[in-house]
Amino acid sequence: MARIADLLAAGPTYSFEFFPPKNDTEQATLVRTLRELEPLEPSFVSVTYRGGRASRQRTYDLVVGMLKTTALTPMAHLTCVAHTRLELAEILVDFRKAGIENVLALGGDPVSEPDLPEAELRFADELVELAHAIGGFSIGVAAHPELHPRSNGDRAADRARLAAKLRRADFAITQFFFRVDDYLGLVDDLRREGVDKPVLPGIMPITNLRSAQRMAELSGCAVPAEVVARVEAVADDADAVWRVGVEMATELCQGLMAEGAPGLHFYTLNRSTATREIYANLGLAPAA
């Protein structure tokens, strides 16, 4: 299994993100998506973690399954929320025993599941330190180009906290965004903090404007007016909306690559079509 830090040191990486299925229907969709995307030979894939006992097991099962039955290099997400320090240590030890070497350390959103313990670690940087203590991991963290939702608009404090956790981690992956300048501003802010670790831009094509706006609001950002205008201009034609969304995502990726981004991380939402189309537009698909 490859460590993501080593992959990034060797050159640009191209990666996909999935979420664990909750039922048989979602499982069938994900299996089909994995079969369609595996031939693209991504550098690695990541599996999200919602917090709580059920999601803990689903994430573990999916990552270990990928490790055993595919040629993919998986990374497991892990959140501080709803776990004691001991539970988090046990999860990390189980990951290492299973051969998982890559983990994305996250603070996590509050979970409403009953009877969950109070989180003892409040921030991702504490989880990064715990993963270091367990040992053997390549550790990533999350970054928000338009500030963390809980930053209260304090850019200086937001960037200082991000820089602090990234100093101990190997790399960061951003929340999705829509403008190259948003990414470049984040990277420049980190450099002013003395941090030059790889920051992978997160890409999510707009195939449904309303859904994208809801997800953007949850992540603390907004869909730019110029993006909304391009989609609304063809809003009466679902196929055209899809085409414009893929075009805009392709243009964003091209701009990021031209500016020297260390790779691209695609939020697939467990579907493959848009990602495959963008990949083809960028000329990233491996030769047949």
Catalytic residues: 17
* Closest residue by Cα to residue 206 from 185, 223, 183: 223
Among all chains, which residue has been given the structure tokens 């990064």?
128
- Cα–Cα dist 244/231, whole Å: 7
Q: Which residues contact 117 (CB under 8 A, 6 or more apart)?
A: 82, 83, 84, 87
Structure tokens at 49: 């973690």
Structure tokens at 3: 């460590």
79, 116 contact by CB (below 8 A): no
What sign results for the dihedral spanned by CA atoms 87, 79, 268, 20?
positive
* Closest residue by Cα to residue 266 from 258, 256, 278, 254: 278
- Cα–Cα dist 259/127, whole Å: 31
Structure tokens at 113: 């599941």
C-alpha distance from residue 9 to each of 5, 194, 197, 198 (Å): 6, 19, 10, 9
Strand partners for 45: 16, 74
Q: What angle do CA 169, 175, 176 make, to 5 degrees?
A: 140
